[in-house]
Amino acid sequence: QQQVKQSPQSLIVQKGGISIINCAYENTAFDYFPWYQQFPGKGPALLIAIRPDVSEKKEGRFTISFNKSAKQFSLHIMDSQPGDSATYFCAASQTSGSRLTFGEGTQLTVNP
Amino acid sequence: DTEVTQTPKHLVMGMTNKKSLKCEQHMGHRAMYWYKQKAKKPPELMFVYSYEKLSINESVPSRFSPECPNSSLLNLHLHALQPEDSALYLCASSLEGGLSDTQYFGPGTRLTVL
């Protein structure tokens, strides 16, 4: 019930391409969905987040799409760059607590 | 400034040692967190402090002992650790620990237990 399932585990994209990472959740009480980006040797950094009252949120090259009925959300990275190579974690939390439930992570490699 | 600092960056300790990890933030945040992260895995929540009081303990073994001396500092005291406790230990902070609070992570302490 508390799980967030993330796919794919790893992703290789050419420079300029679109990277797509998907997450699915079971707990309908989740209502905050952030994405974190983590570079090797660094802590995770918030990239973008969405609430269920909107179906899409865009910040620069990064877009979250949210499908409440399917309990799925995804991260799209447009015009992917080698500097985007990192591990991406989706996460979810609910109003009543401060716990973040993380997905298993996606290691993105953008080839030049 | 959205910086969370952690010291030391790396720590190697034996199973009989006692050591401490330190975390500091000056963003006025009142919620602070300890996470453990194994290689290629997501962070796992260990402890949450809210307004300097321990609010969440995720059934962490007693060989890990958190302490929040004041609203800017968070310590994790380590004693009699096991090799499987080797991991990246991350500290994070957020405004008040509520739903919409962004958690800001530090760079972590890479811990190796011999």
Mutation pick from A98, A100, A102 vs chain B, by most beta carbons of B within 10 Å, is A98
Q: Are strands B10-13 and B109-113 parallel, antiparallel or unpaired?
A: parallel
How does residue B97 score in pLDDT terms, banded at 50, 70 and 90?
A: low
Residue closest to B10 by CA, chosen among B80, B83, B87, B82: B87
Mean pLDDT computed over every residue of chain A: 93
Instruction: State the average pLDDT over residues A60-80.
Output: 96
How far apart CA A49 and CA A75 sit, in angstroms, is 10
Q: Could you read off the pLDDT of B19-58 as tens digits, one per residue?
A: 999 999 999 999 999 999 999 899 999 999 999 999 989 9
Q: Measured between beta carbons, which residues in chain A are less than 8 angstroms from residue B90? A: 43-44
Residue closest to A22 by CA, chosen among A35, A8, A11, A10: A8
What does the pLDDT read at residue A41? 85
Closest-CA residue of chain A to B87: A41
Q: Give residues with Cβ within 8 angstroms of B85, minimum separation 6.
A: B63, B64, B78, B111, B113
DSSP B54: E
What does the pLDDT read at residue B2? 64
